[in-house]
Amino acid sequence: MAGLDNRLKIGSNEMELVDFRISRIVDDGVYEGIYGVNVSKVKEIIRMPKLTEVPGVAEFIDGIFDLRGIVIPVVNLAKWMKIEEPDNIGEDKRVIIAEFNNTKIGFIVHEARRIRRINWKDIEPATFASGAGTMDKSQLTGVTQIEDDHVLLILDLESVVMDLGLYVPPPVSYDESRKEFDGIVLLLDDSKTARSIMKETLSNMGFDVIEATDGQNGIEKLEELSAQLGGELHNQLKLIVSDVEMPRMDGFHFASIVKTDARFSQTPIIFNSSISDSFSSSRGQEAGGESYMVKFNPDTFYKEVSRVLHSVKEGK
């Protein structure tokens, strides 16, 4: 399935989504919600396996099962979203096996429909999720309109990883009090939590951090910096760190624009994403990025920033 995503043209600002459905009981009957997740994060989709219950876990974990020697925790998305499921949901249930931050998790959905190719410019940030009803907007990456005026909600399944406590930042071995770098870093990520973590890390390294919420906002920030700094821009702007999945303009499309602009083309770009497949890493290089990293190990990040900046300084 990830191979489909690899056919997307770099700079096209497009993504491919697995369209899946979750039904819920509402006052006047049953409502079928339409949801999506990036194909790049999906390893496979399987029929509902027999699960082994695990005591003492979060209530939205229905159990675990063995998938070719790997123990997979299985999240009931309806429970995670606090949705009341109809009683007759059964045979069509599927489990989407996804990978985030090198961790495989299964997600129970009521039906897996199709793969959709959507332009990021047609995806609105979660703050504009008018079709989300009472759903917590923090559980969404964005929303987009599809045929027949239906709304598709792109779930932020990474937040499940956080809810499960599966992401624990490793201890930092480098000296945070020794600020080894200077200058400005432009940081792009649509997640406020991710930006906060990254900003703290970059600030501890000595950088001044300017934040952007997506690729389009990143272009706007670069234009502002260019107007402010003029000829000093190249000396002051040391690095760009960008997420990949962002509404309006994704990281790859952003990079393809930046790398064709003489003012910014020499500024190295590090992609920092939860997508851990090899195709995305290759696409990052094709878009002009100097590095592609999977979120988020502070030590590894520090070493990679050092490597990239030293390589640029040495002209490699």
Residue 276 pLDDT exceeds 80:
no
Q: Do 98 and 207 belong together in one domain?
A: no
Per-residue pLDDT, 128: 54
Which pLDDT tens digit goes with each residue over 147-171?
A: 998 999 998 777 777 777 665 556 6
Task: Give 2's pLDDT tier (boundaries 50, 70, 90).
Answer: very low
Q: Do 17 and 78 belong together in one domain?
A: yes
Q: Is residue 97 part of a domain?
A: yes
Please give the C-alpha separations between residue 192 and each of 126, 205, 215, 243, 310, in angstroms, as whole numbers: 12, 20, 15, 12, 29
Per-residue pLDDT, 271: 96
Q: Is residue 179 part of a domain?
A: no
Q: Do 202 and 244 belong together in one domain?
A: yes
Task: Give 50's pLDDT tier (boundaries 50, 70, 90).
Answer: very high
Q: Do 139 and 33 belong together in one domain?
A: yes
We report the CATH number of the domain holding residue 41 as 2.40.50.180
Q: Is residue 169 part of a domain?
A: no
Which tops the pLDDT comparison, 178 or 148? 148
Q: Do 13 and 119 belong together in one domain?
A: yes
Q: Is residue 118 part of a domain?
A: yes
Q: Do 139 and 206 belong together in one domain?
A: no
For the residues 232-236, what does the mean pLDDT come to?
93
Q: Do 262 and 121 belong together in one domain?
A: no
We report the CATH number of the domain holding residue 261 as 3.40.50.2300
Question: The domain containing residue 78 runs over which residues?
Answer: 2-164
Q: Do 244 and 102 belong together in one domain?
A: no
Q: Is residue 178 part of a domain?
A: no
164, 192, 208 - which closes a domain: 164
For the residues 168-183, what does the mean pLDDT come to?
73
Which tops the pLDDT comparison, 39 or 316? 39
Q: Do 124 and 224 belong together in one domain?
A: no
Residue 293 pLDDT exceeds 70:
yes
Q: Is residue 171 part of a domain?
A: no
Q: Do 135 and 235 belong together in one domain?
A: no
112, 131, 164 - which closes a domain: 164
Task: Give 7's pLDDT tier (boundaries 50, 70, 90).
Answer: very low
Per-residue pLDDT, 174: 67
Q: Is residue 173 part of a domain?
A: no
How many structural domains are present in the chain? Answer: 2
Residue 309 pLDDT exceeds 50:
yes
Residue 134 pLDDT exceeds 90:
no
106, 130, 164 - which closes a domain: 164
Per-residue pLDDT, 214: 93
For the residues 251-273, what does the mean pLDDT come to?
95
Query: Which of 85-99, 112-126, 135-149, 228-242 ranks highest by mean pLDDT?
Result: 228-242
Q: Do 129 and 209 belong together in one domain?
A: no
Residue 6 pLDDT exceeds 80:
no
Q: Is residue 176 part of a domain?
A: no
**Cα torsion at 293, 294, 295, 296 (round to 10°)?**
-70
Q: What is the mean pLDDT of the chain?
A: 86
